[in-house]
Amino acid sequence: MKMDRLYAITVYLLNHGKASASELARRFEVSSRTIQRDMDALCRAGIPVVAMTGAAGGYEILDTFRMRQHAATREDYSHILTALQGLATATNDPKVSATLEKLASLTKAADSGILLDFSILREGDERMLQQLQAAVRSKHVVSFTYTNADQATRNHTVEPIAVLYRWYAWYLLAYSTVKQDYRTYKLVRMSDLLTTDIAFSREHEEAEAILRTADKTDTRTYLNVTIRCKAEAKARAIEYLRGIVTEELDNGDVLMTLNVVENEHFWLGTLLSLGDSVEILEPEALRLRVLIAAKTMVALYHKR
């Protein structure tokens, strides 16, 4: 409905600032001409939309404007409550639980039909998660010992920006005052975490903006792997390795491609756990690496 779209456009512009007609058209699945008519309608309704021309132009709402009514529906509240319930199970944060209780008491949201139980995400990391969250909120520097993927260990002192879950693990997004740039640290590789009484040296952008910039300049080395996978291992290869089937063979086997981070070990361990159900076809260097690992394991068990 048009009224729903007008409200959604208003909220989007308030949250994201300037946006072009083509960007709004893509997001709301209408034509650019329809967006222009929507902007005229918003102006007639008293919402101060300004249009800027040029390559960096777009629509923007004056920062003096504030929404006076909360137009969230029961379905909106249902989505919010579902997300909060998932966050509460993942972090066990009392503040999140308190927010959930407050919101639940204000409305009887419709059942979303979705349950998010992320309690497994906090196993082994719960205390560290809560300590890092507290440091993020208080804007205090933390120090810790860190072992990277190459098994090099050293001490780090950073300004914590956010904790995030991605790539199947918890990470800390932080500003390194030594390197003077933003970095991510895997929580499972951190130890001896200490929150200091040192305040941040500078103001930082929002975590999402920092991550968007970092993702555009991803310096990790990726490896394209081709495997032959037996039918009984196909589902596991797709689930755990994000394999993409490129060809199905007559005997039920499949050819599959993987795109993995070269110096990460999770995918290689998963690949090895599939045993003779999977054969690496390319690259040759990875075939050799697995062959050496297999011979070393066999030699170990032949010692007795």
Is pLDDT at 27 greater than 60 in this prediction? yes
Q: How far is CA 197 from CA 158, 159, 203, in A?
A: 12, 12, 17
Give the pLDDT mean for 34-49. Answer: 85
The pLDDT tens digits of the residues spanning 243-297 come to 899 999 989 899 999 988 887 777 888 888 888 899 999 999 999 988 988 888 8
pLDDT (0 to 100) of residue 135: 94
Q: Do domains 125-216 and 222-301 have the same CATH topology?
A: no
Q: Select 222-301's CATH number: 3.30.70, 3.30.1490, 1.10.10, 1.20.1070.
A: 3.30.70
Quote the CA–CA distance of 218 and 211 in Å, as a whole number. 10
Average pLDDT across the chain, whole number: 82
Single pTM value for the model: 0.56
Q: Which CATH class is domain 125-216?
A: mainly beta
pLDDT (0 to 100) of residue 228: 94
Residue 23, SS3 per DSSP: helix
Strand partners of residue 159: 175
The pLDDT tens digits of the residues spanning 164-222 come to 887 667 889 999 988 888 998 988 889 999 999 999 999 998 888 888 787 766 667 88
Which residue from 266, 300, 272 is spatially nearest to 286, judged by alpha carbons?
272
pLDDT (0 to 100) of residue 271: 86
pLDDT (0 to 100) of residue 92: 72
Asked whether 232 and 215 are in contact (CB, 8 A), the reply is no
Architecture category of domain 2-61 in CATH: Orthogonal Bundle (1.10)
Which residue type sits at 16? H
Tokens (6 digits) for 275 = 């045993």
- Domain residue extents for the chain: 2-61, 74-121, 125-216, 222-301
Which residue from 147, 149, 148 is spatially nearest to 262, judged by alpha carbons?
149
pLDDT (0 to 100) of residue 71: 56
Is pLDDT at 137 greater than 80 in this prediction? yes
Poorest-confidence range of 38-42, 96-100, 278-282, 286-290? 96-100
